[in-house]
Amino acid sequence: MRESWRWFGPNDPVSLEEIRQTGATDIVSALHDIPIGEAWPRERIAEHKTLIEAGNVPGSQLHWTVVESIPVHDDIKLRAEGHEAYVDAWIKSMRNLAAEGIKTICYNFMPVIDWTRTDLRFQLPNGAFALRFDQDRFAAFDLFILCRDKAERDYNEAEIARARSVFASMGEDEIEALTQTIIAGLPGKMTDAYSLEDFRAALARYADIDHEMLRGNLIAFLERVLPVAEELDVRLAIHPDDPPWDMFGLPRVICTADDLDKLFEKAPSACNGITLCVGTYGSRPDNDLPQMALDFRERIHFAHLRGVTRDPAEPRTFYEASHLDSDIDMVRVIKNLLANEQANQREIFIRPDHGHLMMGDVNTASNPGYSAIGRMKGLAEIRGVIRAMEAGA
């Protein structure tokens, strides 16, 4: 497996020099400063690649090999009038990346919002901090802060009562923090930041879009993009919706193994693949991650390795657990990914996805989920499993 590490560019608190010390060899990155919908110029891609590789010496090499991510404009997801120009720009970015030798591209098709959490510093019994999604806090935001039109239709009486109780206990600072966490976005987001008013307007654009329409719009996008990916030998790796269920009345269409079967039935190109985000898919108890690792063996171009622990009383509430200690059998997932590599005769890019905020990082600046020590701990654990399996232990 190719051990990779996500880097957000020169402003990332975790430097390239520190990443080299982890033993990772591949960088997962993007041009985050380019507005959504604009093509990435080849010269900017080349500059970013040169920056990553500038400190390479024998025995310590970093290479930009995976893009996470080229944003997909909401007009594409809506197939709005004029959306073709955004598709053309996306294809141009892909061409320019391929020209610089970067041929694995992660992307997602989540409408309006990107990955979402409600708590950025959920303290664990050992004192470290994890990211958490709390369904009741989310419902409190939806029902009583955003005051989304007809939101009550998405909740039963008990859920509304719990959300009302949570909201009643929140002070102004907590309300503001929750609002910003949800609508301003988290690291690596591929959607815009919103005010509450703008967020309501963005949601309203999807009022007439259901699951089949959104899935159809994804297929229409891929029908334009995949022939070029085949020409360039680029592997596209769609990331699941995170969390993997409908939110804010929005349809989400990459949540389960069944969703992936529908995707590949309509777009069978070998370049059409997935990012196996173990933690995201694992947020649903009906997703069997070790089995998915086998079933989609030829489609897995990239893997995010992390685990989650779900609340038994409310399965939609979860926190991001240690990489090897969660509701997901990570050892079996890794075993099956290694078997896939042998069967397909190609390596899979993996990265430790997120990490606990711990030790010396607790009081230093870091992107939520992307501190150095927690991710290095995860990488070390994953590496240990891989080495043991490769040795036949």
Can you tell me the distance from the alpha carbon of 240 to that of 277, in angstroms, rounded to the nearest whole number? 7
Residue from 277, 319, 323, 356 carrying the catalytic annotation: 277
Catalytic-residue membership of 239: yes
Catalytic site residue 304?
yes
DSSP, res 147: -
The CA distance from 389 to 376, in Å, is: 20
Q: Any idea what DSSP says for residue 8?
A: -
- Closest to 154 (Cα-Cα) out of 146, 164, 165, 143: 143
SS3 353: coil
Q: Hey, is 297 helix, strand or coil?
A: coil
Q: Which two tokens stand for residue 246?
A: 């409908």
> The tokens 């898919």 sit on which residue?
281
Residue of 239, 301, 323, 356 marked catalytic: 239
Cα–Cα dist 143/391, whole Å: 53
The C-alpha atoms of residue 382 and residue 351 are separated, in whole angstroms, by: 9
- Centre a 10 Å sphere on the Cβ of residue 208 and count the other Cβ atoms it contains: 8
* Residue 127 tokens, joined: 């004192």
Catalytic residue among 75, 136, 353, 361: 353
Which residue is catalytic, options 304, 323, 356, 361?
304
With beta carbons less than 8 A apart as the criterion, state whether 338 and 390 touch: yes
To the query of whether residue 147 is one of the catalytic residues in this protein, the response is: no
Residue 370 designated active-site: yes
Q: Is 219 helix (H, G, I), strand (E, B) or coil?
A: helix
Which residues 6+ apart lie within 8 Å of 294 measured at CB? 336, 339, 340
DSSP state of 337: H
Residue 301 annotated as catalytic: no
Q: What is the Cβ-side half-sphere exposure of residue 242, based on CA atoms within 13 angstroms?
A: 31
Alpha carbons within 13 angstroms on the beta-carbon side of residue 13 total: 14
Q: Which residues are catalytic?
A: 239, 277, 304, 353-354, 370
